[in-house]
Structures are given as structure tokens and as C-alpha cells.
Structure 1
């Protein structure tokens, strides 16, 4: 059953706004491309939502183009502006990447009466601590109290509200987490591939771990331990575990120590890989995915896998009724979830898809409650300047 499309919530706004989404320049040569799991994907979903709102007249992408690549403007008709362009016709800029507009550009935009919003889509507190610990700047917000508001998705409210209030704006607005299959489907259509679930060629499943190893709470350790627990319960269940994005850590002492104590590794079933596109390995080298997120917030990775029908073992409480949920940080429970997927997924695929559809509808850009919430967030901003 397809997701329902709802009409936008009516509001008292008389004149719709022209909105720009500011993102940092994407590297089209990156292995996952601009439509991987980063700000470009977030911007695409946000733009698709904003285009549904009566408060929005037009939506633009603001970025410095790095060269040839696949961008939201290619598929969704978003005009693309440079951050240094005269933004006189733009009423509101929403920074998807912190500081993407640039300090001077933001100051000029504000002086002209524009409204500036910081859109938080990942754990900015954990990211800041990670960047500080290794001595790199990371994504730094603009200074000088330039932000009129921070839009903070509900799953990040508990962990990021105080940090956002201190570093960006006192005006924190709770918004829904947004997801759409449209960016994924447009990308798949362009590449002419169909990575929807299909039965594994053998009974033992090939497990993929795509956690990025780029910040706390998004690393390979807990998924590997969950797979290890599954292997110790049933040595026939897992054919291999592929740790994608871990190749740069292969000589890291901690990874070496973990592999030394792993029965899976001693049995020759753990492989440390470079980054690969998820859509390119599903069904070819990977039969299921295991992930662990801290905090346990939705990710496009898990939502895409649910949409495509692939078994995914995860710890996201708000999606506990879909996929193969296990208690956060409980890798023994994670092992049991993996075994359930190995043994039962093919036989319960119809139920799996129904459960996934219900979960996806809660975060969909077509969900009436989500449209209403975003409409209210837009209406709460000060009137535009045109």
C-alpha cells in the first residue's frame, strides 16, 4: 500500500516565502556520491517537504558547485545559487550544513532583513566533541547570534537541545524527522539498478556493517559484537561480516585487538573493506545489515533498507516495530535479532514489508502530522523581506 499524500496544512501566512537551503559543497567523486547519507540527501528531503507547504513560494539550493555530480537540482527542479550570489530575492535561508552560507554572506543577508534558520539533522554535540578530540574544526555554526531559529528534529531533542541553544539560538523549534524514498528512487532510476530484497543465494547470510566510523556512536564495534554473539549461538548462520568504511582503521591497534578475540575473525569470516555504495553491494555481497546508533535516532540507511525490504538489525527505539530491533548497547540481544533475521526473514517478508510501511509513514514527508508541524515551524518565523 503506497504512502498517502496529504494536503498541506492551511495557515494565516499571506505571502509565501522564497527559501534557500544552504549546504556545503559536495564531492561528486565520493563513493556514495552527493546522494549518499549526508547533507545533500537531507536537503533533498527537506526541499520536497517545503515544496508542499503553502508558506513556501519557491525553494532554492545554495552551494558552491564542485563540478559534475548528481544534485537535487538535477532531479527536483531546484535552482542552484552560489553562496556569494546576491540573495536579495530570498526571504529565508535554512543552513543544512552549519556555516555553509559563510559568515560574511550571512551578515549581509541578515542586514537586508533575511531570516536565517539552522537545521540540525545529526548529533551536533557528539560531533563537536569528536572534532575537538582530534583537533579539527568540523562544521562550525555562524557566530554573532545570526540565527533566528534552530529546527531540531524530535529524535535529537534530548541530546542536542541544550547544545543548540548555547551555540546557535535561544529559539529552538521541535520538528519531525523527515524521510522520503524519492531521492533514493531517482538515484536508482538514473543508475538503472533495482536493489529491492531478493532471497539470499545460500542459507548462511552475508552481513554488512555500514556505520561510518567517523564519530562517536557510529562505529563498527557494537554491530561486530552483535554478529559475534549470533555466531557463537549458531556457527552456521553467518557466512561473512563485511566492515565497510573500515579499511583506514585496519592497522589501528584497537581494531586488531577486537579481531583477535573474535571467533568470527578466527574462522576467517570478517573482512575489513573500503567504502562502497550500499546499493551496489546489496544482494551481490550483502544479504542483511547490522547497525547501532547512539543516540538511537532514525537514519536514512535504516529507513532505506526497510523500504527496500532488506533485513536490518538495529537499535532505534522509534522504529522498534519494524526491522529486527534489539535493545541499545545489548549485543547479546543484537545477536538474537540477527539469528531471527537469518532464520525467518524469507518466510515473513510480507509481514516485514507491512511493518516497514507503517514505520516509514511516521517519518514520511507525506504524513499529514509532519506537514502540519513543518508548516507551523515556517509560520513561526518572522515575515519575509520582499
Structure 2
């Protein structure tokens, strides 16, 4: 079928509607499915987009923050005969449904948003609960995002027995704008210059989730420790969030407890918070580190507020970069930020906004690439 002959498509994207009140900030994958939905609505070759509910509830929780968003949602049997493309996103599709969709001439894509190779290794090695299970279900293609190509492309190609296509990582300020609007009146989201001198001690946030090895607080803490030893005067506080569930682990206690930032009470263990609230209420600077997870929504939310982001992502073309697994290099960057960022804050924010345009669901090149991927499914 040529592109000129291709009719406008009806696209379904699976989503797990849960009986529990799933917060939109709980995982990036939930946001990613909604961003994909919004992206598909922008594609000229798409007539309709439907969220396919594969969950245990039919009621969207208010904690998903989807009020006011144009969402069509249905169970798969209700719309199966209308779908041209089904994208497995937030809920698994069973083998029989894929067989039936193929009989009807539809295509089925697996949209992979996480580092499945690492996550699956951890599930096996650490005897965790099973997650996604390979079933030889017959996907036409796997779509993924750039940060997972290196570790996962071959994993999916072999196990799913189909081609893997890498597409842009996409984002929208939808949820962060809604969260900002709900902040208490005494809080302002967005980086504020020091009101006294640029060298006024700063409050640093480490916001890694600490749920698997690709994003933990260890190297951000090492960066802060190395910088603190050189100049403690520029540090007011280091908030290590998302660590309440590991605070009693003896290894973690000795890790943070034998650092100068721990011994002197500069670094503190904190609960989980949504990013806009925590930055508005508590922090001036974010220090981050990832391992084969170079693009994530934490970065975009921090940049959206113009906050200085110290990171090791080669794919992120703004912020303050340091070489991965090099705490001393990170410390050099961090000290420069703490001492001098205010003098370039406006330029930094402008650069961040220009970058964020390139990941937006409205960005023309993103729309073009996703549209081409859809149409190529039907190319002879």
C-alpha cells in the first residue's frame, strides 16, 4: 500500500486504568503513554486516537490529572473492528487479540519506554516479582526511545522477533503546568537568583527514584561530597529524596553516614515528592546521574523551571554536563554552578526553553517521524 493510498488511521494505545489512585508522577511510563496519545492527535494521517483500557477499573483517577484533557477511552473488544493500529503501551495485549487484529488487517506495535533489559535482569537476580513476560505474540514492530537503544535493541529484536524502530522521546508541560497551578500561593516554581550575592549557600536536590540501578542517588551524592570537601561555604542543604525506603539499609547508612555532608548534617534523607513542589519549596539546584537512561522527564521538568541541572547525559543538549562516573568532574561543574550560575541564569533558561521545544508533542519533526513510522507499517 503506498502512502498516497493510505487512509486515515484509527490508533489505539493501551493504558492501565487502576482501581488504586495511581499518581501521574508515579512513573515516567504513565506520562509517556499520555504524551504519545497527544502526539498521535497531532498527526495528519491519524483520524482518531483511543486509549484502550486494559486495567481493573473503568474510572480514571483524579490523581492522573486528566481532567480537561480530550481523552477517548474504551475496552479493546468495543473498538477492535475499527482499529488500524494498536500500540501496546501501558497494558499488555494478549496473544489472541493480536491474532484477531492481524486477521482484520490491523498492525500491532509494542511501545517500549523502559530499560527492560536491566529491569528484567534485576527481577531475576534479586528474585523480584515477575513483570512483562515474552509470549511470542507477533508484534509487527517494537518502537522505543533513544536512551534504550544501546542496551535493549538486540534484547527486543531477538525476543520479540521483529524490527525495532527508535523514535524521539516526547514530552508536554501538561502535567507540570497543572501541578504548578495547584501550588500554595506562597510558593513560586522557577529558579530565583540569590537576593544577596551569587555565592549565597544553595540548597541542592537529588531526585533520583532509587528503584533500580539506572537512576540512584549514589553518584549525585559523590559529586556533592567531592564539591563540599573543596568548599563547604556554598552548601546550605542537600536533600536526598526518594530514599525513605532505603534509609535503614546498613550499606546505605554507612555510605551517606561516613561522608562529610552526612556527618555535618548537610545531606538529609527525604521522602518522595513531585518535582515542581519540591523545587518550589526547597531547592535551587539539581544534581543527577543516570546509567543508560539518558533522557527522562525529571530533566525536562527541572529545565522547564530554569533550574540549573548538573547531569551526565550526552543526549541532553543543555544543562551542565559532566562525564559519567566521575565525581571529581561533577564536583568541578557543581562548584562552578554554585558560584557563577546567577550571572548566566537568563541565557541558561533561554537555552533550556529552546531545547524543550524539540521534545514537545507539537514539534513538527517529532510529528513527522511518528507519522512516518505509522505509515511504514503498511508499506509493501
* Residues 1:352 and 1:214: Cα distance change in structure 2 (over 3 Å): same
The CA deviation string for residues 336-384 of structure 1, in whole angstroms up to 9 with x for no partner, is 222122112222111101221232233233333222211110111138x
Can you give the 5+ residue segments of structure 2 that lack an aligned partner in the other structure? Answer: none
Partner Cα distance (2:150, 2:135) in 1: 23
Range 179-188 or range 161-170, more displaced: 179-188
| Deviation at residue 111 of structure 1 after TM alignment | 4.4
Answering whether residue 143 of structure 2 is matched by residue 147 of structure 1, we say no
Aligned pair partner of 2:33 in 26, 32, 43 = 43
User: Which 4+ stretches in 1 moved above 6 angstroms?
Assistant: none
| Deviation at residue 197 of structure 1 after TM alignment | 2.0
User: What is the match of residue 379 of structure 1?
Assistant: 375
Q: How does 1:1-386 map to 2 (within 5 A)?
A: 12=4, 14-25=6-17, 29=21, 33-63=23-53, 64=55, 65=57, 68-71=61-64, 74-83=67-76, 85-97=78-90, 99-141=91-133, 143-189=135-181, 195-199=189-193, 203-319=200-316, 321-382=317-378
User: What is the match of residue 5 of structure 1?
Assistant: none
| Deviation at residue 323 of structure 1 after TM alignment | 1.2
In the alignment of these two chains, the number of paired residues is: 370
Range 266-275 or range 134-143, more displaced: 134-143
| Deviation at residue 280 of structure 1 after TM alignment | 1.4
The CA deviation string for residues 214-252 of structure 1, in whole angstroms up to 9 with x for no partner, is 111211101111111110111112212111111110111
| Deviation at residue 137 of structure 1 after TM alignment | 4.0
| Deviation at residue 84 of structure 1 after TM alignment | 5.9
| Deviation at residue 170 of structure 1 after TM alignment | 1.7
* Residues 1:17 and 1:314: Cα distance change in structure 2 (over 3 Å): same
Contact 1:94–1:118 (8 Å) recurs in 2:
yes
Partner Cα distance (1:48, 1:13) in 2: 25
* Residues 1:349 and 1:28: Cα distance change in structure 2 (over 3 Å): farther
Partner Cα distance (2:35, 2:279) in 1: 23
Partner Cα distance (2:94, 2:180) in 1: 33
> With CA pairs under 8 Å and 6+ residues apart, which has the higher RCO, 1 or 2?
1
Partner Cα distance (2:96, 2:106) in 1: 14
Partner Cα distance (1:88, 1:192) in 2: 47
| Deviation at residue 138 of structure 1 after TM alignment | 4.5
| Deviation at residue 55 of structure 1 after TM alignment | 1.8
* Residues 1:300 and 1:28: Cα distance change in structure 2 (over 3 Å): farther
